């Protein structure tokens, strides 16, 4: 039975006032998530340091994230950000041997490039996989870059610049053939697409809660395949990464036997309240239904952009795109500002306007966006 998306829209008050197409930057605020923030404030006011509840919330986020990704809770680290998780992961790698290469793509978010370039003084060799003339990155480009010296292939699932989705199963097969590990940055996909880390066969996956997971900023996750949770030892650490958090031991580093060893200090407490509420809301709907709806909305948007003579640069094929439609503009920032004057919330990256859809959007949102874009075409479409 398909979810009642019309009823679900009512849980997001902003949709009564705005055409909100910015979930790829920051999700719309749900009533349940707002209530979670308020519950934290009440606990903070009346109890103060409510550690028993806070740890329970942190563990709930871990379990819910595991459910979302088809992983086990022991394979999930709750982090302050993707950067925090990747820095802990990077600190556990040895780049002094034969396998010192990290392969990344030209679709990466800065974090998933900068952190690996930061390992170059430790011996890492970072190789970029370039785009083809059509703007996409085909499998053959990865095949040319991944070799026996590759330790890690670190790739985004959906590009934040243009909404293009890489062929993750194909890239994983190439990496496995050369004995390399695979890290998936799924920040621009998780919550908008159905993601199964076991089916994808990735070793690591990182994301955060502020976009399609309906939560807030300042909290993320790192999935670490169970076979690596004991063999990789991060040197970026903290007291919540220890086997016994309550031990308060200052004589030795005793990392947890689970993915919690990739955590650090005090967890993002208030953000756990919000993330828990967002994840519960999302899981109650189900990501397969959300993925189906997002493909329908983005397809309709792209077809209508074609009709007004202002086509998107996002790939048309479902298997090559996420929930963002990127539209080229001669002044994407000014176009974004002009749309905001019309109560249409979008974002922009490079020379592209981004309209990011989620399950709470509908056909009326598409029509409002297209009508505004048609009106603004003369001033902002590419010359």
Q: Is the pLDDT of residue 50 over 90?
A: no
- Do 229 and 261 share a structural domain? yes
| 340/256 same-domain check | no
Indicate the pLDDT class of residue 47, thresholds 50, 70 and 90: confident
Q: Percent helix, strand and coil across the chain, each rounded to 5?
A: 45, 15, 40
- The CATH number of the domain where 76 resides is what? 3.40.640.10
Residue-wise burial string across 265-290, b where 16 or more C-beta atoms lie within 10 A, e elsewhere = eebbbbbbbbbbbbbbbbeebebeeb
> What distance in Å separates the CA atoms of residue 165 and residue 187, rounded to the nearest whole number?
12
How does pLDDT run across 362-372, given as a tens digit for each residue? 999 999 999 99
Structure tokens at 268: 């993002």
d(CA 58, CA 62): 6
- Same domain, yes or no, for 101 and 20? no
Residue 24 binned pLDDT confidence (cut-offs 50, 70, 90): very high
The per-residue pLDDT for 116 is 98
CA 12 to each of CA 6, 20, 102, 325: distance values in angstroms, whole numbers, following the listed order: 11, 10, 41, 22
CA separation for the pair 257, 249 (Å, rounded): 16
Q: Give whole-number Cα distances, 170 to 138, 175, 223, 288, in Å.
A: 10, 9, 20, 21
Same domain, 175 and 92: yes
Structure tokens at 317: 């094929």
Domains in the chain: how many in total?
Answer: 2
**Residues whose CB is less than 8 angstroms from the CB of residue 12 and which lie 6 or more positions away in sequence, other chains included:** 20, 28, 29, 30, 31, 360
Instruction: Give CA–CA dist 182/124, Å, rounded.
Output: 16
Q: Is the pLDDT of residue 238 over 90?
A: yes
**Is 308 found in the same domain as 267?**
no
218/328 same-domain check: no
Residues 19 and 46 in one domain: no
Provide the 10 A C-beta neighbour count for residue 330: 12
Q: Which residue has the higher pLDDT, 54 or 119?
A: 119
For the residues 221-241, what does the mean pLDDT come to?
A: 96
Confidence tier at 58 by pLDDT (50, 70, 90): very high
State whether 19 and 127 are in the same domain: no
Domain of residue 57 covers: 33-283
pLDDT of residue 48: 84
Tokens read off for 217: 């900023």
First to last CA, the chain: 46
Place of tokens 């202002």: 310
Residues 156 and 262 in one domain: yes
Domain boundary among 230, 250, 283: 283
End-of-domain residue from the set 235, 251, 283: 283
pLDDT surpassing 90 at residue 315: yes
What confidence category does residue 1 fall into, taking pLDDT thresholds of 50, 70 and 90?
A: confident
Residue 321 has pLDDT above 90, yes or no: yes
* Range with lowest mean pLDDT among 37-51, 159-173, 226-240, 304-318: 37-51
Q: For the segment 243-283, what is each residue's pLDDT rounded down to a tens digit?
A: 999 899 999 999 999 999 999 999 999 999 999 999 999 99
CATH code assigned at 12: 3.90.1150.10
Same domain, 334 and 259: no
User: 266 with 291, same domain?
Assistant: no
The mean pLDDT value for 7-30 works out to: 98
DSSP H helices in the chain: 5-9, 31-46, 51-69, 82-91, 111-117, 139-145, 168-177, 197-200, 269-285, 287-307, 332-341, 363-380
What 8-state DSSP symbol labels residue 30?
A: P
CA 78 to chain centroid, in Å, comes to 14
pLDDT tens-place string over residues 197-218? 999 999 999 999 999 999 999 9
Residue ending a domain, choose from 232, 251, 283:
283
Determine how β-strand 324-328 pairs with β-strand 125-129: unpaired
- Token look-up 């930061």 returns 118
**Residues 77 and 223 reside in one and the same domain:** yes
Mean pLDDT of the chain: 97
Q: What percent of the chain has pLDDT over 70?
A: 100
């Amino acid at each position: 039975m398909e979810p009642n998306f019309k009823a679900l829209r009512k849980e997001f008050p902003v949709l009564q006032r705005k055409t909100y197409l910015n979930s790829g930057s920051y999700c719309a605020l749900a009533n349940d998530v707002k209530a979670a923030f308020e519950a934290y404030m009440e606990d903070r006011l009346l109890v103060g340091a409510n550690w028993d509840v806070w740890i329970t919330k942190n563990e709930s986020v871990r379990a819910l994230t595991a459910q979302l990704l088809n992983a086990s809770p022991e394979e999930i680290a709750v982090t302050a950000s993707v950067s925090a998780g990747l820095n802990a992961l990077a600190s556990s790698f040895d780049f002094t041997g034969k396998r010192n290469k990290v392969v990344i793509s030209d679709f990466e978010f800065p974090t998933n490039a900068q952190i690996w370039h930061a390992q170059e003084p430790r011996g890492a060799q970072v190789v970029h996989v370039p785009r083809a003339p059509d703007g996409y990155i085909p499998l053959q480009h990865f095949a040319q870059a991944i070799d026996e010296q590759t330790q890690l292939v670190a790739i985004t699932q959906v590009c934040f610049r243009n909404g293009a989705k890489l062929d993750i199963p194909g890239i994983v097969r190439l990496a496995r053939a050369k004995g390399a590990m695979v890290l998936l940055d799924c920040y621009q996909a998780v919550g908008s697409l159905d993601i199964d880390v076991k089916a994808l066969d990735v070793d690591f996956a990182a994301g955060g809660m502020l976009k399609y997971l309906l939560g807030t900023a300042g909290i993320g996750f790192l999935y670490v395949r169970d076979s690596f949770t004991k063999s990789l030892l991060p040197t970026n650490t903290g007291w919540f990464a220890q086997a016994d958090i309550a031990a308060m031991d200052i004589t030795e580093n005793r990392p947890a036997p689970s993915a919690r060893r990739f955590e650090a200090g005090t967890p993002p407490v208030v953000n756990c309240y919000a993330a828990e509420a967002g994840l519960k809301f999302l899981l109650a709907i189900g990501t397969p239904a959300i993925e189906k709806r997002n493909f329908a909305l983005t397809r309709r948007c792209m077809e209508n952009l074609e009709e007004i003579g202002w086509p998107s640069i996002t790939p048309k094929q479902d298997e090559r795109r996420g929930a963002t439609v990127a539209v080229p503009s001669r002044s994407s920032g000014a176009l974004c500002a002009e749309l905001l004057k019309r109560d249409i919330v979008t974002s922009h990256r490079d020379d592209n306007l981004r309209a990011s859809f989620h399950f709470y959007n509908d056909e009326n949102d598409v029509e409002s966006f297209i009508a505004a874009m048609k009106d603004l075409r003369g001033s902002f479409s590419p010359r």
